[in-house]
Amino acid sequence: MDTKDLQFETSKDEKDLITLKASVSKDAYNSELQKQIEYYKPKVNIKGFRVGHAPNDIVYSRYRDALEGATNEILIEEVWNTYSDEKNAKSMGTPKLSNMENKDDGLHLTYEYYPIPEFDLPDLASIVVEKDKYEVDDSVVEEAYKLSLQRFSQYAESDLKSEIGDRVYVKIEFDDDKYKKYNKELTVVARDGENESVFSKNSIEVKKGDKKLITTYIDGRETTLIMEILKVEKPDMKDDSKEEDRNKVKESLKEHLIKRAEERANYNLVNKTLFDKLLGEVNMEIPKGYYEEELKRALDDFEKSVANNGMSKTEFLISVAKTEDMIKKEYQENVKKQITFDLIMAKLADTYKDSININEDKAKEYANRMYQYQSYLGLMKRPKGEQQNIINYIMRDAQNRATSEAILEYIKEHVQINEKDSGKFVPEENDIWAGY
């Protein structure tokens, strides 16, 4: 669109939200309107005229709302694109059209958007990172083999102390005036992982009748739980297979674990090491309002996730021994990091677009998986418009995932990667069954 037909006025508020007021001259508006009339005229049938030969004013009078709607849609996009090109304005996400008025002097549009912050990318060749190198020996294979047996084992009550992977039945009571009547019985798996509940972490090396005091939080204040061990169940690890068959399984399992160890090393390199390295190399100021909106969205999703798992927020906070403020602080840090990383990835994609090879087969694979999942959830039962929106989202998300992978592969090829000895590979249950 010719800039002589446009006028722009911008303002910025205290949260970095930019309001763009744009006006399209009446002549430019009418010119686009005539294009829309000419486009749709052959598609409509007006009594008394051959198809496509009705005068423009009659076509307009019959289909005024639809034609003006089509004109507005074209101009909304064209005005923003012209402004973006002329002013080099880049929006975080799609700009919001907050107002539209068709006046005597033309079309008046109001957009709101958060600008993408300016920042410099680091020289990839100057970045040095370390990649894990795990050892997979016979002891690792034996541990993995035990996990594979445990998966199909029957559990039976035991008087012995619990070990990692055992089922532990516990009763939780509050040693607290306000919650003294609270009691709940749970079945947990004894585990000590970073994201495990305090109940799982405290269910290792215990036996029936033991009691433990656990510190946690309720309503933002520290309190104490009494956790009584009601029962310990251990898997029956009996293996009736022949030694020859066991050896074949272990040989195959070792090959599989070597692949899994390499996959974990690559995952850590991309999702932890490179992630943190890029964040440390780039300085940027995220628009305040955009950050607040993303934080609110993340916290809302957190609450929905807790509810979907059949827990109240209070129960969840008790189980992880955290206050709501602690959770919010974690999300504040994580949301800021994720926004920053996404902006870095977007700029890398643009900067190296001619050098990045996107695996379109991967994109199709991701799209097919997501489509199958949505079909399982009842995609075909949804309204047609909603179906199309979901399919559009699937296609975009699949393409974004494939693009992100291509960018990360490009980065890995251009940074300096040194291997570090990370000790023995510690297999987890998903390592045993992932593609095995």
In 3-state terms, what secondary structure has residue 170? Answer: strand
In the predicted model, what is the mean pLDDT of residues 30-45? 93
Report pLDDT for 414: 94
CB atoms within 10 A of CB 244: 8
Residue pointed to by tokens 């607290």? 176
Residue 289 one-letter amino acid:
G
Q: Answer whether residue 254 shows pLDDT above 90.
A: yes
pLDDT of 52 reads 87
Q: How far is the C-alpha of 262 from the C-alpha of 267, rounded, in Å? A: 9
Residue 394 CA to residue 369 CA, distance in Å, equals: 9
Neighbours of 217 (CB within 10 A): 18
Q: What angle do CA 335, 339, 341 make, to 5 degrees?
A: 115
The answer to whether residue 179 scores a pLDDT higher than 90 is no
Query: Which pLDDT value is given to residue 176?
Result: 65
For residue 178, what pLDDT is reported? 65
Give the dihedral sign, CA 277/278/283/286. Answer: negative
- Least confidently predicted of 168-182, 257-271, 306-320, 396-410: 168-182
- 198: Cβ contacts below 8 Å, ≥ 6 apart: 214, 216, 225, 319, 320, 321
Digit-coded pLDDT (tens) for 384-405: 888 888 998 999 889 988 998 8
Distance CA 47, CA 55 (A): 12
> pLDDT tens for residues 87-137?
999 999 899 999 999 999 999 999 999 999 999 999 999 999 999 999 999
Dist CA 166 CA 38 (whole Å): 74
Is 70 exceeded by the pLDDT of residue 177?
A: no
The contacts of residue 49 (CB under 8 Å, 6+ apart) are 55, 58
CA distance 85 to 82: 5
In this prediction, residue 435 carries a pLDDT of 55
Q: Is the pLDDT of residue 223 over 80?
A: yes
What value does the CA radius of gyration of the chain take, rounded to a whole number of Å? Answer: 30
Specify the DSSP element, H or E, that contains 79.
helix 64-87
Q: Which of 308, 304, 299, 303 is nearest to 335 (CA)?
A: 299
- Residue 427, exposed/middle/buried by CB under 10 A (0-12, 13-18, 19+)? buried
Closest CA to 412 of 352, 331, 362: 352
Range list of β-strands (E), 329-410? none
Residue 436, pLDDT above cutoff 60: no
Tell me the percentage of the chain whose pLDDT exceeds 70: 97
List, in order, residues 6 or more apart from 423 with CB less than 8 Å away.
134, 135
| The pairing of beta strand 128-135 with beta strand 416-424 | parallel
- Other beta carbons within 10 Å of 86: 11
pLDDT at residue 22, rounded to an integer: 97
Specify the higher pLDDT residue, 432 or 319: 319
* Tokens at 55, concatenated: 């005068």
Average pLDDT over residues 140-161: 91
- The sign of the torsion formed by the CA atoms of 264, 265, 270, 271 equals positive
The H or E element spanning position 310 is: none
Least confident of 45-59, 71-85, 158-172, 179-193: 179-193
Q: Residue 113 CA to chain centroid, in angstroms?
A: 22
Read off the pLDDT band of 237 (50, 70, 90): confident
Whole-angstrom Cα distance, residue 167 to residue 180?
26
DSSP, collapsed to helix, strand or coil, labels residue 24 as strand
Amino acid at 195: N
How much of the chain, in percent, has pLDDT values that exceed 90? 73
Could you count the other beta carbons within 10 Å of the beta carbon of residue 94? 9
Question: What distance in Å separates the CA atoms of residue 123 and residue 255, rounded to the nearest whole number?
Answer: 37
Compute the Cα dihedral for 115, 119, 123, 124 and give only its sign: negative
The pTM for the full model equals: 0.84
Mean pLDDT of 176-190: 79
Does residue 207 contact residue 229 with C-beta atoms inside 8 Å?
yes
In angstroms, the CA 190 to CA 225 distance is 18
Burial class (CB in 10 A: 0-12, 13-18, 19+), 312: exposed
Tell me the average pLDDT across 260-283: 94
- The rounded mean pLDDT for the chain is 92
